[in-house]
Amino acid sequence: MTSFSIVTIVYNDVAHIKETMESVINQSYKNTEYILVDGWSNDGTKEVIMEYLFSCATITLENQEKDRFYLEATHNAYPTLTFKFLSERDRGIYDAMNKGIALASKEWINFMNCGDRFYDLEVLQKVTNENIEQYDVVYGDLMIYYKDENTHFFKKTSHDLNKLYAFFYHFGHPNCFVKNPIAKDNLFNTDFKLSADYDLIYRLFIQKKRFLFINHVVATFTSGGASDTQGFRSLKEALKISLFYNQNSNVMRIKIYLFYLFALIKKIIKLYMPKSATKILLRLRKSI
């Protein structure tokens, strides 16, 4: 029976953690290990997580140290839905995500970080209905939520992985499932602060891992996270990654430079465009 380790990382985001948790816990498919990795929050996030778990699950292991807290639990109504909660300081987003990989014990790993959520409550069931066992990476489409404009925009993920350089923003942790052993052998590169998930996908593609696209919207990704608020640095990292994995093709490198030049221009325009105009453009894009 297909099983999932769903990982949520969070730091000081008490306003959104419950929504993300519920999108995982309320999935109709319950053969799931839910791993929460907290960066030692001090805004009440830890307490919200613990209160939620104590209300719906039986604690099977609990360990409290000076700067570290860890527990394991099993859902009271669904014994195949289990929890692991780790709270300790980390060295950034991808260090925390690597901790989630280390804790994962199920067949497939997905990252649904705080503020993001599964698109609907049937996502995991839809994934299991596909013939996924022979593949290494499974990915679907992504819905982007622009919280500043309070609007959603559908991002169609390309099926042509040879154009991976051109869709770094469409293909990341929320809409992607990676087989556990492969994830453990390919941890996130913490030298990248904003685009290590893109680096991971490119690395797996270069390693000729078997990818499967499923025609479902997997997740709603909230725009405004670290990679958005530091957009120029994120773009610079993505350019570095694309060039690194295409060192032997001058034609491809020219394509990459042109693509990122246009992406940079778009970011500059968006930066200086009034928010009202941005909202209008997003609505126009949705109608096309």
SS3 labels along the chain: CCCEEEEEEECCCCCCHHHHHHHHHCCCCCCEEEEEEECCCCCCHHHHHHHHHHHHEEEEEEEEECCEEEEEEEECCCCCEEEEEEEECCCCHHHHHHHHHHHCCCCEEEECCCCCEECCCCHHHHHHHCCCCCCCEEEEEEEEEECCCCEEEEECCCCCHHHHHHCCCCCCCCCEEEEHHHHHHCCCCCCCCCCHHHHHHHHHHHCCCCEEEEEEEEEEEEECCHHHHCHHHHHHHHHHHHHHCCCCCHHHHHHHHHHHHHHHHHHHHHHHCCHHHHHHHHHHHHHC
| Range of lowest pLDDT (23-27, 135-139, 244-248) | 244-248
Average pLDDT of span 66-86 = 98
Average pLDDT of span 41-67 = 97
Average pLDDT, the chain: 86
Average pLDDT of span 138-153 = 76
45-56 vs 17-25: helix axis angle to the nearest 10?
Answer: 30
* Tokens of residue 198, six digits: 């893109």
| Range of lowest pLDDT (15-29, 53-67, 155-169, 239-253) | 155-169
* pLDDT tier at 194, thresholds 50, 70, 90: confident
Distance CA 258, CA 156 (A): 21
More confident residue, 226 or 151: 151
| CA 81, chain centre distance (Å) | 20
The model's pTM:
0.85
> Pairing between strand 4-10 and 108-111?
parallel
| Range of lowest pLDDT (12-26, 113-127, 180-194, 242-256) | 242-256
Which domains does the chain show, CATH number per domain?
4-287 (3.90.550.10)
More confident residue, 110 or 173: 110
Distance CA 188, CA 199 (A): 8
pLDDT at 68 over 50: yes
Given CA atoms 153, 159, 165, 166 in this order, what sign does their dihedral have?
negative
The phi and psi torsions of 254 (rounded to 5 degrees) equal -65, -45
The Cα-based distances of 135 to 74, 179, 261 in angstroms read 29, 8, 34
Average pLDDT of span 82-92 = 98
